[in-house]
Amino acid sequence: RSPYSVGGTGEMSTFEPVAPPTDLVTIQGVWNPVTGELVSADDINGVAEAVKALRELRAKVSDAVAENMRPGVMARLGLDYDTLRGIRPDIVMLSVSGYGQTGPWKSYGAVDRSISALSGMNHLAGYPGEERPREVGTRGYMDVSIGWNNATVLLAALHRRRATGKGMWIDLSMY
């Protein structure tokens, strides 16, 4: 149990931990929705079984799939847009990466600080006379903005699907 302040009143409350979702892919391995266990990334047979179960579950049940792996990872796992579209033709998929799914920088990883620096945001922060570059805010500005962008484009794609009956694959980069 973790204490959290409720509504800024100083009143403390406790919340029960939330069980992991049944379709979670993690860095350490893959959550198998059939067995309810985390399969180590080193267990190749277990990962293959879990990914197969995830593919079926995601494509049959999900309206949208969002992922933020490096380009090519979802294809290697068999969870790419073409595969999922074969199971559910109207699925919406959002692929978020640092520099997009194509182009010369596609294989580079990215985090908030690298995108802030590369985009020039750090040189825009602060006040005249202060040392530059400076980090933008106390929390990752790019992490927050990409979250809003993700939500906006997913809602727009689902709205389009409702109007046209067609799914789509969205390639959204942080930079």
Q: Tell me: the pLDDT tens digits for 102-125? A: 999 888 888 887 888 888 877 777
DSSP state of 15: E
43 is catalytic: no
Q: In residues, how long is the chain?
A: 175
What pLDDT does residue 120 have? 80
Distance CA 138, CA 156 (A): 30
Cα separation values, 9 from 1, 4, 133, Å = 20, 11, 37
Which entry of 23, 63, 143, 171 is annotated as an active-site residue? Answer: 143
CB atoms within 10 A of CB 131: 6
Distance CA 22, CA 26 (A): 12
5: CB partners within 8 A, 6+ apart: 11, 12
pLDDT tens, 121-166? Answer: 777 777 778 777 677 766 677 778 888 899 999 999 999 999 999 9
- pTM (2 d.p.): 0.68
Split at pLDDT 50, 70, 90, the class of 38 is low
